[in-house]
Amino acid sequence: MIRIYLWKVHRRHIPWAFMRMALDRFSLLRIKNISFWKLLGAGKGETFTPRDADPQRWGLLVVTNEAGLQTLENSSMIQRWRKRSISEYSADLSPISVHGQWSRRTPFDNAIPAPRDWNGPIAAITRARIKWRKNLIFWRSVPPVTTSLHSSQGLIAALGIGEAPIGLQGTFSVWDSSESVKNFAYRGEAHKAAIAATHREDWYAEEMFARFAITRSSGVL
């Protein structure tokens, strides 16, 4: 099972959230049956520079089984985040297609795949580890793509996610259908130009693009 949590904390809890990003890794290591997890910062996803970061928005992605998910749901860690959040979004994801790696792993291989005839809402996760010497080139190339993303037909919501303010960048987006995601990814001129630039500039040390069926969700992004 794959679950993503996205929280928005009250402003007065921002220092607490920064602290928990460091400490909650130890909480996650103690929960059995979690095979992969990432604590995430979140932001607007417009430039993929540190100025995009929203210190009120934080997230967690986990891959586990039903027992692990139940333990996580009942954990003091999740209850702490809920107590200090003014909103929470969570979704259960089933992989449709995954290309690339995350932290040199293929974390979604053992998750139950989505039905072949899935026609419900879709989540897309992109994630890249950018070569340090390529950061400036990457940042200059991103704005047309993010403008195209946020104006794409079929997009329900999108935000930036990352494990660090610089160098580890990604997006989490929700779409009304697979067709909408494909139209943005393969037919949008800005995105096609970015793909060409990726091959030309070789700015990623690692990259991943994944699409998922959203089999359950609650809250609002």
Report pLDDT digits (tens) over 51-72.
778 999 999 999 999 999 999 9
CA dist 82 and 136 (Å) reads 37
23's enclosing H/E stretch is: helix 14-29
pLDDT tens column, 144-194? 566 667 678 899 998 989 887 655 678 899 999 999 988 887 765 555 555
Q: Which CATH architecture has domain 2-218?
A: 2-Layer Sandwich (3.30)
Map out the domains of the chain as residue ranges: 2-218
Q: Where are the beta strands (DSSP E) in 44-104?
A: 53-63, 85-100
- What are the helix and strand counts (H, E) for the chain? 6, 8
DSSP state, residue 75: S
- Burial letters for 35-45: b for 16+ Cβ neighbours within 10 Å, e otherwise? ebbbbbbbbbb
Residue 125: strand, helix, or coil: strand
Q: Could you report the per-residue pLDDT of 31-42, keeping only the tens digit for each?
A: 999 999 999 999
Q: What is the pTM (predicted TM-score) of this model?
A: 0.88
Residue 151 is predicted with a pLDDT of 73
**Phi and psi angles of residue 5, each rounded to the nearest 5 degrees, phi first:** -115, 140
